Chains A and B, each alone.
Chain A
């Protein structure tokens, strides 16, 4: 490779500089959350804590634990259900195409781009009618419904990679719709499920608009509770930062351990269907 001598060091310097920019908020979050309250002053925000003080985590956990649990109760079923629906839809739309299937798929796909504000007022009225307003199951339902486009897209793209010949030969062997799904598609979909599940998990965990409008006080997921943490009292920055870190922890852990699948999901969801 023909490069000048200074190119490499320059590239490293650039990479490090950019890393500093990306890590700066993390530093502030961690350092502040470990400080005792009296060290959390505006002027000293960049300083390391003089002693490690876990009390802000205790306070934040105290306040956020119920909402953390709400989020778990929301995310687990919503992720499973929407992944399952997406797999079925993707299977049908890639391997059992009928006339107009592509148009239908495009119409479904539109649902993932809409600003949810445009369906929020009727949605709330509807949930109230069926008694699911301000319930976790209600929120699960919402995320399953509005998760259909993205999970369908991901699985459709995923299944498209499975050769049609496999399906055809299975059909010749007498396998039907369900059997092909169960014995051919599903075993091949483990990666697909992991990718979709991680994607949905992250998105639903981080979601705010539905959460803040559909649930109240003790039913609220973690992100709303975090936003409310400042509340109607003194803003304790160490507690807020500890809370932010706690709220971010599950998705961060998923990212750290399964980052590869996370990025695949991101690409699968962003590329044309």
Chain B
């Protein structure tokens, strides 16, 4: 596999300083003209529509017929007092933390494993990567069966006494009361996390592998000369070098997990007592099934803000890093 050109952009961005002195030619106008449609589309369909959704979230449109009268923060207040939404926030938080942690640990482990020049390496790599080519819907349909309490993995685990209720489990581990809900780790989430990890770990493996391949062999040789064991080599030298990649993995996995919808919709739905519900599913059901448009818009805005917390600093910092 080839390494990525992470650094090339920096080279390119260094150039304009020279070019800036050039005069603005007809070709520049042409360039701008070619870019303009995309810019207009993005401003309209991303920023314009976000604004529109924000407006809907402040309206009274909670039925089949649009009602644009101003409702203030009513819809948001309703949400934050809503059992289901509180449960969603808990579930998303737990899901995100478990999912990212598992993807990072497994991703590094498998990347290092693939870096050991095993025979059949490309076969193993393909096995770890292929779930990424699948749809979350397919993953959901299959794992729903694998974690069905009366079949699936339980058929193996039962003789060992390890069978679980998986996504039908309504227990909340380490629960304490918070708002209207019990805060803690819903056991049912674990099943969904496993499915998500199955699908997305390849992503992290690919990134870490690219990172490992970019580390010059001299680094390893030097460490080995100093008498480091393989374990020390990885733990003390290689893994710290991979840290910037971990940051990227966290950002990417976080934005996937904060807006996750299809996997859960296909695999478990909201679940008993909303133990596997997430804002994406709630937004979909309340807007397009229950016709609570303003409530749905409010959920969407909360989702957007939660993603923006991660993404905006990341985008700004990567821009600064670039120039």
Chain A residues at the B interface, C-beta cutoff of 8 Å? 2-3, 7, 11-12, 14-15, 18-19, 21-25, 28-29, 32, 42-43, 45-46, 85, 88-89, 91-94, 96-99, 101-104, 106-111, 113-123, 126, 145-146, 148-149, 152, 156-157, 160-161, 164, 176-178, 202, 205-209, 212-213, 223, 226-227, 237, 240-241, 244, 247-248, 251-252, 254-256, 259-260, 262-264, 266-268, 270-273
Contact = CB atoms under 8 A, between A and B. Distances in A.
5 contacts: A97-B19, A107-B47, A111-B45, A117-B300, A226-B138
B217 to A, nearest CB: 12
Contact of A271 (B15, B20, B248): B248
B198 A115 contact: no
Given A19-B127, A119-B52, A248-B133, 12 more contacts: A2-B229, A25-B142, A32-B145, A89-B38, A106-B315, A114-B307, A115-B280, A117-B279, A148-B42, A244-B142, A256-B126, A267-B4
> Chain A's interface: helix, strand, loop or mixed, by majority?
helix
Interface residues of B, number: 109
A119 B148 contact: no
A101 B35 CA distance: 10
Contacts of B186: none
Given A42-B148, A114-B50, A208-B136, A94 B12 contact: yes
A140 to B, nearest CB: 14
Interface of B: 1-2, 4-6, 8-9, 11-13, 15-16, 19-20, 24, 26-28, 30-32, 34-35, 37-39, 41-43, 45-50, 52-53, 56, 110, 113, 116, 118, 124, 126-139, 141-143, 145-146, 148, 150-152, 155-156, 198, 203, 206-207, 210, 224, 229-230, 248, 252, 255, 258-259, 261-262, 265-266, 279-280, 283-284, 287-288, 293, 296-297, 299-301, 303-304, 307, 311-312, 315-316, 318-319, 321-323
A267 to B, nearest CB: 5
A15 B118 contact: yes
A263 B9 contact: no
A252 B139 CA distance: 13
Contact of B287 (A15, A113, A121, A223): A121
Contacts of A116: 259
B141 A122 contact: no
Given A113-B255, A271-B248, A248 B134 contact: yes
Contacts of A149: 42
Given A29-B142, A208-B261, A209-B261, A177 B118 contact: no
A199 to B, nearest CB: 11
Contacts of B37: 85
Contacts of B48: 122
B237 to A, nearest CB: 15
B13 A102 contact: yes
List the 5 shortest-distance A-B pairs measured between CB atoms, nearest first.
A206-B135, A115-B259, A272-B318, A255-B133, A96-B31
Contacts of A118: 49-50, 53, 300-301, 303-304
A202 B9 contact: no
A42 B47 CA distance: 49
B1 A251 contact: no
A116 B190 CA distance: 25
Contacts of A255: 129-130, 132-133
B9 to A, nearest CB: 5
A22 B206 CA distance: 15
B10 to A, nearest CB: 9
A145 B41 contact: yes
A207 B152 CA distance: 27
B110 A18 contact: yes
Contact of A7 (B43, B224, B230, B287): B230
A272 B321 contact: yes
